[in-house]
């Protein structure tokens, strides 16, 4: 099977679980004999060569004499959002829709113009402008490669997938790693929601990373259940450099590692920490990550008078994450809404017992994790205390959790996806 795949990031240049998932899936697809051309906005040259063939949209020349652009130019619009956007991250409500902006500024002559677009590959204030440009690149790419099916990951690439479908008449699969309701709760950004709905409406099939996400796609986006399939992420592509990190403190360490945003429930972690510390002072809590709620969490820690037992590390990556897990005695993911959740798998792979919210997709596949409702601070605190103070319990979750992660295979995900492809094109 030859697959034209659109994504926004690829290891080692990743911001969250999206790039990690894309790597694990494409590596397994190539191992089973599929050919994958993976399009990213900006390639850096050091992307892994184990899996997909990486193509940088920044290197593609757009020929505006092409009939597609002549027919569709007037329908293109560019959107500027005055906030930082990340695939799984919420946005401010304030935004401007700027029609014809690029057309006016660049004064493109459709009878002559050929040009490249330089993408930043980042999640800055001009992200949605890049999303639109990326979709134009897709029209060019769709004519350059030989493929059987199109696959687009997350909302950033849905428009590109739809345009490639129109140009090629190939079937389109979109992969929902998160929805706007996960990122922003009920205070959704309408522009992002509309892009998501547009991609779903125009896709031939929708793949979701969990039943939790599938139910949201059906109920909140009005999709036909027959059109939506759950294919869980794998875990066996997770890299773990065995490191021995010497603790600078004698206390046990409980870690939150993720974006400090509404979706991840960092405030519930702080509240649970305060409860644990009433009964056990031999604990340090670590919040590793950055995000729009970070300052509020610092203030909440101070208000709870637990600053001497609480640490903020900022964003961690690569070996920094491995060292953090090597020092951790418990990992907690109290997410309010988590489509899947890669970080608990990383922790379990490092033999760290985990506590996860029931409102996460990964809770559907894990047995050796303690599961609590994100809002149940008492249950969360009790679980933390138990893992810290009952070695037999901690050792059981550490031992069997490691084995469980090793059994959650991307190869199984890739096989399910290939079967889906064949159904669509047969």
Same domain for 200 and 117: yes
Give the pLDDT score at 124: 61
Spatial distance between the Cα atoms of 186 and 314, rounded to a whole number of angstroms: 27
Ranges of H-type helices in 206-330? 211-221, 266-277, 294-303, 319-327
* Digit-coded pLDDT (tens) for 16-53: 678 888 989 999 999 999 999 999 888 877 877 777 88
Q: Which of 177-191, 231-245, 356-370 has the highest mean pLDDT?
A: 356-370
In a domain, 243, yes or no: no
| Residues 190 and 52 reside in one and the same domain | yes
138-147, 160-169, 205-214, 393-402: the lowest-pLDDT one: 138-147
Contact 153, 96 (CB under 8 A): no
3-state secondary structure 354-380: EEEECCEHHHHCCCCCEEECCCCHHHH
Whether the predicted pLDDT of 77 surpasses 80? no
Q: Are residues 226 and 295 in the same domain?
A: no
Q: What does the pLDDT average to over 208-223?
A: 97
What would the pLDDT profile of 234-279 be if each residue is shown by its tens digit? 986 565 556 666 777 889 999 999 989 988 999 999 999 999 999 9
Does the residue 240 lie in any domain? no
Q: Within this chain, do residues 403 and 415 fall inside the same structural domain, yes or no?
A: no
Confidence of residue 98 (pLDDT cuts 50, 70, 90): very low
CA R_g for the chain: 22
Answer yes or no: is 81 within a domain. yes
222, 312: one domain: no
State the pLDDT at residue 287: 98
Do 152 and 50 lie in a common domain? yes
Residue 31: CB atoms within 10 Å: 13
> Does residue 32 sit in the same domain as residue 116?
yes
Give the count of domains, the chain.
Answer: 2
Which token pair is 32?
A: 């089973």
Distance CA 191, CA 208 (A): 21
The reply to whether 20 falls in a domain is: yes
> What's the mean pLDDT when you consider all of the chain?
85
Provide φ and ψ at 275, rounded to 5°. -70, -40
Please, are residues 213 and 346 in contact by the beta-carbon 8 Å criterion?
no
Query: 3-state DSSP call for residue 16?
Result: coil
Which of these ranges, 77-91, 174-188, 242-256, has the smallest mean pLDDT?
77-91
Which residues, at least 6 apart from 385, have a Cβ–Cβ distance to it below 8 Å? 276, 279, 280
Contact indicator for 356, 366 with CB cutoff of 8 Å: yes
Q: If pLDDT is split at 50, 70 and 90, which confidence band does 123 have?
A: low
Residue found by looking up tokens 């005055």 in the block: 82
Shared domain check, 417 and 389: no
Statement to judge: residues 22 and 110 lie in one domain: yes
| Whether the predicted model's global pTM rises above the 0.95 cut | no
Range from 65-74, 236-245, 324-333 that averages highest in pLDDT: 324-333
Is 104 exposed, middle or buried, given 0-12, 13-18 or 19+ CB atoms closer than 10 A? exposed
Cβ atoms of residues 73 and 119 within 8 Å: no
Asked whether residue 217 falls in the same domain as residue 297, the answer is no
Burial of 8 from C-beta contacts in 10 A (0-12 / 13-18 / 19+): buried
Q: Is 117 exposed, middle or buried (0-12, 13-18, 19+ CB in 10 A)?
A: middle
Full domain range(s) for residue 98: 2-234+410-425
Rounded to an integer, what distance in angstroms lies between the CA atom of residue 275 and that of residue 300? 13
- What's the rounded Cα separation, in Å, for the pair 143 and 153? 20
Buried-exposed string 140-159: b where 16+ CB fall within 10 A, e elsewhere: bbbeebebbbbbbbbbbbbb
Q: Mean pLDDT lowest for which of 229-233, 280-284, 307-311, 321-325?
A: 321-325
70 — pLDDT class (breaks 50, 70, 90): low
> What value does the mean pLDDT take over residues 381-407?
96
Share of the chain above pLDDT 90, in %: 61
CATH number at residue 93: 3.40.50.2000
Query: Which residues, 6+ apart, have CB-to-CB distance to 72 below 8 Å?
Result: none
Distance between CA 176 and CA 155 in Å, rounded?
Answer: 8
Task: Grade residue 317 by pLDDT with cuts at 50, 70 and 90.
Answer: confident
372 found inside a domain:
yes
> Does the pLDDT at position 113 exceed 70?
no
Are both 169 and 285 inside the same structural domain?
A: no
The tokens 């021995």 sit on which residue? 244
pLDDT higher than 60, residue 75: no
Over residues 3-9, the mean pLDDT reads 92
Sole residue written with tokens 């760290």? 352
Q: Is residue 80 part of a domain?
A: yes
What per-residue confidence (pLDDT) applies to 140? 86
210 Cβ partners below 8 Å, 6+ apart? 230, 232, 339, 340, 360, 361, 362, 364
Joined tokens for residue 141: 């790419």
**pLDDT exceeds 60 at position 105:** no
**Residue 246 falls within a domain, yes or no?**
no
- Which burial class, exposed, middle or buried, applies to 102 when counting CB atoms under 10 A from its CB (0-12, 13-18, 19+)? middle
Query: In terms of domains, do 256 and 389 share one?
Result: yes
Q: Tell me whether strands 310-312 and 61-63 are parallel, antiparallel or unpaired.
A: unpaired
Average pLDDT over residues 340-366: 94
Q: How far apart are CA 197 and CA 182, in angstroms?
A: 15
Residue 48 or residue 95, greater confidence = 48
Q: Which two tokens stand for residue 399?
A: 């031992």
Residue 106 lies in a domain: yes
Instruction: For residues 149-176, give the mean pLDDT.
Output: 95
Q: Tell me the helix, strand and coil percentages in the chain, rounded to 5.
A: 45, 20, 35
More confident site: 337 or 97: 337
CA–CA separation, 105 and 115 (whole Å): 14
Highest-scoring range by mean pLDDT, 107-111, 132-136, 421-425: 421-425
């Amino acid at each position: 099977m030859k697959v034209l795949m659109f994504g926004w990031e690829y290891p080692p240049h990743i911001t969250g679980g999206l790039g990690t998932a894309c790597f694990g899936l494409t590596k397994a697809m190539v191992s089973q004999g599929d050919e994958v051309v993976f399009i990213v906005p900006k390639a850096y040259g050091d992307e892994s060569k184990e899996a997909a063939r990486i193509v940088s949209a920044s290197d593609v020349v757009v020929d505006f004499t092409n009939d597609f652009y002549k027919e569709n130019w007037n329908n293109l619009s560019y959107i500027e959002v005055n906030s930082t956007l990340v695939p799984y991250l919420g946005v401010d409500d304030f935004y401007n829709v700027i029609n014809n902006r690029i057309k006016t500024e660049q004064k493109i002559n459709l009878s002559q113009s050929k040009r490249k677009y330089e993408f930043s590959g980042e999640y800055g204030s001009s992200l949605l402008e890049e999303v639109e440009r990326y979709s134009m690149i897709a029209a060019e790419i769709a004519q350059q490669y030989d493929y059987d099916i199109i696959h687009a990951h997350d909302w950033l690439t849905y428009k590109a997938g739809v345009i490639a479908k129109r140009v090629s008449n190939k079937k389109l699969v979109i992969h929902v790693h998160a929805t706007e309701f996960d990122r922003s709760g009920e205070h959704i950004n309408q522009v992002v929601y509309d892009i998501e709905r547009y991609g779903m409406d125009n896709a031939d099939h929708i793949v979701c990373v969990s039943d939790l996400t599938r139910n949201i796609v059906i109920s909140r986006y009005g999709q036909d259940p027959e059109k939506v399939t759950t294919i869980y992420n794998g875990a066996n592509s997770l890299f773990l450099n065995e490191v021995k990190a010497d603790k600078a403190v004698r206390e046990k360490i409980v870690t939150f590692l993720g974006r400090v945003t509404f979706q991840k429930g960092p405030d519930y972690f702080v509240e649970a920490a305060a409860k644990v510390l009433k009964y056990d002072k031999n604990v340090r809590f670590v919040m590793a990550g950055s995000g729009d709620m970070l300052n509020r969490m610092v203030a909440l820690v101070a208000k709870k008078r637990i600053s001497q037992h609480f640490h903020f590390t900022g964003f961690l990556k690569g070996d920094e994450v491995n060292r953090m897990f090597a020092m951790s005695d418990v990992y907690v993911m109290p997410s309010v809404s988590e489509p899947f959740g890669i970080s608990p798998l990383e922790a379990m792979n490092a033999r760290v017992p985990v506590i996860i919210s029931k409102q996460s997709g990964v809770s559907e596949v894990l047995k050796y994790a303690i599961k609590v409702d994100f809002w149940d601070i008492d249950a969360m605190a009790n679980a933390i205390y138990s893992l810290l103070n009952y070695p037999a319990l901690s050792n059981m979750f550490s031992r069997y959790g490691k084995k469980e992660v090793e059994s959650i295979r991307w190869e199984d995900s890739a096989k399910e996806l290939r079967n889906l492809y064949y159904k669509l094109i047969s």
